[in-house]
A and B are shown apart, each in its own frame.
Chain A
Amino acid sequence: MELRKSYFADERDDHLVEVGKPRARTDALGHVTGASRFFADRNFPGMLHLKMVRSPHHHARIRAIDTAAAERLPGVVRILTARDVPHNLYTILTLIQVGPEDENVLATDKVRWQGEAVAAVLALSERAATEAAARVAVDYEVLPAVLDIDAALQAEAPIVNEYHGRNYYRYDSGECRKVRYGDVEAGFRAADHILDQTYSSSPIEHAPTETTGCIVVPEPGERFTCYTNTQAMFFTLDVVAMILEVPGHRLHMVGGTVGGGFGGKVDVIVEPIAVLAAKLTGRPVSFIYSRAEEMQVSSPRGAERIRIKDGVLRDGRIVARQVTAWLDAGAYSRHSTYGAQKAAAHFPGPYTIPNVAVDSYCIYTNRTPSSAMRGFGVTIGDFALEVQMDKLARLVGMHPLEFRCLNAYRDGDMKAHRQPTEGAALVECMQEASRLAGWPMAQHFYAMSSRRREA
């Protein structure tokens, strides 16, 4: 590792104890000896295996669920349906007062995506659970499905999620998260060029090597120990307490060793039903996603569509930027309302632009609910912004790095969100990148500084 110390040298204390020195990971020894304990590295006598009956349809009404034939199979201990779940309708973010509750732990009258949980089979072996799950008979009335952002926004589109009443989330600010700064229309009128482009992305699966899961053990006194690979231990505790309607002190969450998360293990999906199953059967319960479930059922990064309209002057200065972003939440909110909000907070990117308008929508479709993944709401936006920046540079005939330096935010610049910029270092990063890449800029760009805008 090498630290470039020439930048901001006067602002930095170089008598650092830890920074710049390699340190062995505290968990590395356990990992290389195979001694690290992942949640599934446990086996309890009498443990039951939970297998979920899942919707084969994108969108369907449930007429009836018949578990009788499945319950008669040898090895089957119990089958749970919606009526077994104390607080079945929930949403994760009610913990921070963001509603409405829009998702069922186990489906009741409808399924809204292919893979939605309908009934939970508990059996003595995985094989018995799989066999029984195949015998649970669900009578579906298939409904027309909404499979992308465009379809969701059609006037005649079927309503995906009745708890929202329309195919987008309603923020306290209205149909989307909004940023308004300056006068974007006046900016466009003053511009020499307008560039209006739309970018889109498909859902992306985290594909951790360890699939999502948990093992729950009932303890004396109506308490439960839950070994889990969640990335959100306290959210998990609170959501389980909410769904089971039990006080949090009855739940002991054990985790911290996660076999790859990347945001995919932030939703609280396996733990509530597994704790409930342990409670209702009095036995240890293991609920671990198969690889197929990890791919299809665990929430991916949602698809996004981003329209960026920019006004730029002949000399390269961007004078107006209008961004409209649509984030495909899938059938339920989970963390996507927050993701769309983060997108609004991120645009127009690390550039100083005097006129900005941002509209960021959280859209519902009959797709696998999407959720957190490494900078969700931001990463795809950055892809769109930086491709747009390259196109703008070409449009005005400038070097892409010089074009970015010219527009880069500097300390003291007012951001579109009305926060003055501080601690900027974008110009310096590009200066160093240009040197390392052997892609030189004109000399005066190396004299620029993030601390002040040159006259």
Chain B
Amino acid sequence: MPKVAIRFTLNGSEAAEFVESGTTLLGALRDKLGETSVKGGCLQGTCGACSVIIDGALKLSCLTLAESCQDARIETVAALARGGLLHPLQRAFVETFATQCGFCTSGMLMAAKALLDHNATPSREDVIEAISGNICRCTGYEPIIQAILAASRAATSTAA
């Protein structure tokens, strides 16, 4: 099978690998680069568990071909905590019980981060819209919505 070289920035560090041509970003991240924080839930683009941020935009790694990410900047949930300190979103998810089985959490946090990166003070409706592509089967969403709103309040009050 033809192998191709891929190279991109993963969570701030250079990542390079040989993958089979046509491999999804999800497959390259998990199977080649050991980045198993990214989950595959449906491989159809329906559940959002595989969501990552590519060059600042939220995308589905299960439907993105690894080769199309040459030289891109890719962020996963593994990069959220800095220097042993949890990101406000992570703290809020822990405190408001926004994670139960945990399988949707990585993607959900990426969707939430993509929201807060562009809109630091989202409304409840903005939050619901931002996570509408991410399915959670445990929480009923309310604790997640509360966590994202709490994180935005925490970040705003720290900045002030």
Contacts and interface: CB of A to CB of B under 8 A. Distances in A.
Interface of A: 24-25, 27-38, 40-43, 125, 206-211, 257-262, 290-291
B102 interface: yes
A26 to B, nearest CB: 11
Contacts of B104: 209
A210 B94 contact: no
Contact of B101 (A125, A210, A291): A210
B47 interface: yes
B62 to A, nearest CB: 10
A340 B136 CA distance: 30
B157 to A, nearest CB: 20
Given A260-B137, A260-B138, A32 B42 contact: no
B136 A32 contact: no
Contacts, number: 101
B41 interface: yes
Contacts of B100: 25
Nearest to A74: B1
Contacts of B77: 32-34
8 contacts: A31-B102, A32-B94, A33-B90, A34-B38, A208-B101, A259-B102, A259-B103, A291-B42
Nearest to B109: A32
B37 A35 contact: yes
Nearest to A34: B37
Interface stretch (B64-72, B78-86, B124-132): B78-86
Assign chain B's interface to a size class: 35 or more
Contacts of A207: 137
B78 A209 contact: no
Nearest to A24: B94
A18 to B, nearest CB: 16
Contacts of A24: 94-95
A36 B102 contact: yes
B43 A291 contact: yes
Contacts of B59: none
A37 B80 contact: no
A209 B136 contact: yes
Contacts of B109: 32
Given A43-B31, A209-B135, A34 B44 contact: no
Nearest to A43: B31
Nearest to A258: B101
Contacts of A33: 37, 77-78, 80-81, 86, 90
A297 to B, nearest CB: 15
Interface string B136-150: 111000000000000
B106 interface: yes
Interface string B1-42: 100000000000000000000000000001100101111111
Contacts of B93: 28, 31-32
B37 A32 contact: no
B137 A262 contact: yes
B137 A257 contact: no
B49 interface: yes
B113 to A, nearest CB: 12
B36 A31 contact: no
Contacts of B95: 24
Contacts of B94: 24-25, 28-29, 32
Contacts of A38: 36, 39, 102-103
A37 B47 CA distance: 19
Contacts of A260: 101, 103, 137-138
Contact of B36 (A27, A37, A262, A290): A37
A209 B43 contact: no
A21 to B, nearest CB: 13
| A-B CB proximity, top 5 nearest | A34-B37, A259-B103, A31-B102, A41-B36, A34-B77
Given A37-B36, A209-B41, A32 B101 contact: no
A259 B90 contact: no
A421 to B, nearest CB: 32
Question: Which of B44, B46, B95, B102 has the most chain A CB atoms closer than 10 A to its own CB?
Answer: B102
A125 B42 CA distance: 18
Contacts of A43: 30-31, 34
B138 A34 contact: no
B21 to A, nearest CB: 12
Contacts of B80: 32-33
A257 B102 contact: yes
A24 B94 CA distance: 7
A24 B92 CA distance: 11
Contacts of A206: 137
B99 A25 contact: yes
Which of A24, A34, A43, A260 has the most CB atoms of chain B within a 10 A radius of its CB? Answer: A34
B152 interface: no
A259 B36 CA distance: 14
Contacts of A29: 94
A94 B148 CA distance: 48
A210 B103 contact: yes
Interface in B106-132: 106, 109
A290 B40 CA distance: 10
A37 B80 CA distance: 18
A208 B102 contact: no
A207 B102 CA distance: 15
Contacts of B101: 208-210, 258-261
Contacts of A34: 36-38, 76-78, 105-106
A308 B55 CA distance: 60
Contacts of A37: 36
B39 A210 contact: yes
